[in-house]
Amino acid sequence: MAAQESNSNVIDSCQSSEEDTALINTLPSAMFWDVMEIKKWQGFWFEPGLIKPAMKFCSYFQARNDDVLLASAPKTGLIKNLTRLKGRLRSSAQKFINTSRISKMC
C-alpha cells in the first residue's frame, strides 16, 4: 500500500504546471516523421509529455559508482539479460560490486 501511495505522489508531482509548460514551450522543437512534435531538453529529444517526468527523475536520482543501468526496448529479453548479468557480476566481481540491489530486480 505504501508503494502505491508513493507512486501516486510521484505521478502527481509530475503533472504539468503553468511554469513547467512555459519552460517546455521555450525548448527547441521539431517534427518527428511529420507526425509528432518533439522537444529537445539537455541534448535529448522527448515527446513533450515526457519532459516533466524526466526533469523530476533527474532532480531525485543520485548515481553511485556501483550502479548498473540496463535498458532495452519491449520484448527484447530484459529479464533474461538481467539474470545473466546478475550471474556474471556475482561470479567475476562480487568483492567489488554490491549485487544486492540487482537481486531485488530479478
Same domain, 49 and 70: no
Annotate 13-52 with three-state secondary structure: HCCCCHHHHHHHHHCCEEEECCCEEEEEECCEEECHHHHH
Phi and psi at 48, nearest 5°, equal -50, -35
Spatial separation of the C-alpha atoms in residues 32 and 18, rounded to whole Å: 25
Same domain, 56 and 69: no
Same domain, 49 and 90: no
Same domain, 8 and 47: yes
The pLDDT profile of the chain, 106 residues, written as one tens digit per residue, is 444 444 444 444 555 577 878 888 899 999 999 899 999 999 999 998 899 888 888 888 888 888 877 777 777 777 777 787 777 776 665 555 555 555 555 5
Same domain, 70 and 85: yes
pTM (two decimals): 0.48
Same domain, 8 and 48: yes
Same domain, 8 and 56: yes
Same domain, 8 and 55: yes
Same domain, 52 and 77: no
Helix (H, G, I), strand (E, B) or coil at 12: helix
